[in-house]
Amino acid sequence: MPTHIQVTGATIALDDHGQGAPVLLLHGFPATRQLWSSVAPRLVDAGFRVVVPDLVGYGASDGRAGRRLDMASQARWILEALDALHIERAVIVAHDVGSAVAQLIVVSTPQRVRGLAVLDGVYAGEWAMEAIASIQAWDPTDASRLFPVLARRLGKSGPMREMLAAYGGQQGGLRLIRAARDLDPRQTEHIAEALRATDVPALVIWGEHDTFLPLDTVARPLAELLHATLVVLPGGHFTPIDCAAEVAKALCDFLGRLPREN
């Protein structure tokens, strides 16, 4: 069962396993913490404390009515959760728009971030918003039909369908529509120089067949901005599911190269 942590105006459900240096795993849209189900145990086995939350409004985490679920709000909630867990510094590993959360944390509180790994994430204003336009425009009265459509598009494997299951039914569909409508690429559009200036050690991991956030137009400029090694893996957009073993190995290699804490 997940741990539930109360933050300002929301409740965050998270898994917290292992001992050692903390590693925070953040999912994106339309995912849940299940995205990391085959990666997190490998990191625990490698000797790390691994914290895996559902972002607020996603999966089993809830936000109060009227609260925006944008990534700047998510960043504040995640920092509150880290405080509640008594984690002063962590390596942040983030996928898709979860990497917007990570980047905003790095810019606002770089002292809290020991390292940053971005997997198939966002760069400046490139959030692949065209891919979710249909969800943003979905008729809320017909929200129950959203999960079957999403499952046909994305849920080709068992792990993908398990990850998306939180959005089944009318209420699940409404949660996903709300989350989609609160995404705002302007929140990272102009942070590139501030991000570069933090000089936090970074790694970029990408699926060579990512059609949502392409390798050449998003991954390579992001890696250059972060002065990061770019690791290309034989997967699509959802690399933590497509090639979990390779993702875990790349992360363990990166974590092993980070300076030790005093």
| Average pLDDT estimate for 121-136 | 96
Predicted confidence at residue 143, as pLDDT, reads 97
Q: What is the DSSP string of 1-24?
A: --EEEEETTEEEEEEEE--SSEEE
Q: Does residue 39 surpass a pLDDT of 90?
A: yes
Enumerate the H helices of 122-257 as residue ranges. 133-136, 146-154, 158-164, 169-181, 186-189, 192-198, 220-226, 239-242, 244-257
- Which amino acid would we find at residue 229? T
| CA 145 centroid distance within chain | 25
| Nearest alpha carbon to residue 184 among 260, 254, 122 | 122
Predicted confidence at residue 154, as pLDDT, reads 86
pLDDT (tens digit per residue) in 78-116: 999 999 999 999 999 999 999 999 999 999 999 999 999
Mean pLDDT of the chain: 95
Q: What is the CATH number of domain 3-127+187-255?
A: 3.40.50.1820
Looking up tokens 């404390």, which residue turns up? 49
Q: Does residue 138 surpass a pLDDT of 70?
A: yes
ω into residue 234 within 30 of 0, thus cis?
A: no
Predicted confidence at residue 157, as pLDDT, reads 75
Predicted confidence at residue 191, as pLDDT, reads 97
CA distance 67 to 7: 12
pLDDT (tens digit per residue) in 167-187: 999 999 999 999 999 999 999
Residue 145 DSSP code: G
| Average pLDDT estimate for 119-140 | 97
CA distance 91 to 24: 6
Predicted confidence at residue 95, as pLDDT, reads 98
Q: Does residue 258 surpass a pLDDT of 80?
A: yes
Looking up tokens 């992360």, which residue turns up? 251
Looking up tokens 């998306």, which residue turns up? 164
Q: Does residue 120 surpass a pLDDT of 90?
A: yes
